[in-house]
Chain A
Amino acid sequence: MTTDGRVLPGLLDTEAIRKDFPALDRLVHDGRKLVYLDNAATSQKPRQVLDTLNSYYERSNANVHRGVHVLAEEATALYEGARDKVAAFINAPSRDEVIFTKNASESLNLVANMLGWADEPYRVDRETEIVITEMEHHSNIVPWQLLSQRTGATLKWFGLTDDGRLDLSDIEQVITEKTKIVSFVLVSNILGTVNPVEAIVRRAQDVGALVLIDASQAAPHMALDVQALGADFVAFTGHKMLGPTGIGVLWGRQELLEDLPPFLGGGEMIETVSMHSSTYAPAPHKFEAGTPPIAQAIGLGAAVDYLTAIGMDKIAAHEHALTEYALERLHEVPDLRIIGPTTAQDRAAAISFVLGDIHPHDVGQVLDEQGIAVRVGHHCARPVCLRYGIPATTRASFYLYSTPAEVDALAEGLEQVRNFFG
Chain B
Amino acid sequence: MYQDVILDHYKHPHGRGLRDGQAEVHHVNPTCGDEITLRVRLDGSVIGDVSYESQGCSISQASASVLNDLLVGKDVAEAQKIQETFLELMQSRGRIEPDEAMEEVLEDAVAFAGVSKYPARVKCALLSWMAWKDATAKALSGTTPEETA
Contact = CB atoms under 8 A, between A and B. Distances in A.
Contact of B32 (A366, A377, A421): A377
A259 interface: no
B121 A365 contact: yes
**Interface bracket on B:** 10 to 19
A232 B144 CA distance: 54
Interface in B56-81: 56-59
Contacts of A421: 7, 58
Interface string B110-130: 000000001001001000000
A362 B33 contact: no
Interface of B: 1-2, 7, 31-34, 55-59, 118, 121, 124
Interface string A352-387: 000000011110011000000000111000100100
B2 A359 contact: no
Given A391-B55, A421-B58, A361 B1 contact: no
A392 B56 CA distance: 10
Nearest to A422: B11
Interface of A: 359-362, 365-366, 376-378, 382, 385, 391-392, 420-421
A294 B109 CA distance: 50
A361 B122 CA distance: 12
Contacts of A420: 2
A421 B57 CA distance: 11
B79 to A, nearest CB: 27
A275 B59 CA distance: 60
Contacts of B121: 361, 365
Nearest to A385: B33
A362 B7 CA distance: 11
A376 B32 contact: yes
A365 B31 contact: no
8 closest cross-chain pairs (CB), A and B: A361-B57, A359-B57, A391-B33, A362-B58, A362-B57, A392-B33, A377-B32, A361-B32
Contacts of B33: 377-378, 382, 385, 391-392
